[in-house]
Amino acid sequence: MQIQKIITGDTHELLVGGRVDGPGANELEIEVLAAIRAEAKSVYINLSQATFLCSAGLRVLLQYWRQMKNQQRLLLVTNPSPEVDEVLTLTGFRDQIVEKI
């Protein structure tokens, strides 16, 4: 899994490619926590190049989506790949954490 960061002011975008499996979920969590510590007001996780999302990756997305929401900040998934979109839809979390265009 690869993560590319784009930081514009207090907005952080994480472009994730490859499999968000157990080790990938840990990497993603480290990058999300770094954005939170940097006091990002918005964190966008672009999953257009992700080929897989496991339950650990879903946990990271949901945990920090809730945390950011409670702090009046924003964390959203953008452009989920078809594979990731299917997982988000089947689990019922798509409407909550995917950016509405």
Q: Which residues of the chain are modeled with pLDDT < 70? A: none
Beta bridge partners of 3: 16
Which CATH number does the domain housing residue 39 bear?
A: 3.30.750.24
DSSP one-letter code for 25: H
pTM score: 0.95
- Residue 17 sits in which domain range? 2-97
H helices then E strands: how many in the chain? Answer: 4, 4
Contact indicator for 97, 88 with CB cutoff of 8 Å: yes
Q: What is residue 101's predicted lDDT score, i.e. its pLDDT?
A: 72
Q: What is residue 100's predicted lDDT score, i.e. its pLDDT?
A: 86
Contact indicator for 57, 25 with CB cutoff of 8 Å: yes
* CB neighbours of residue 98 within 10 Å: 20
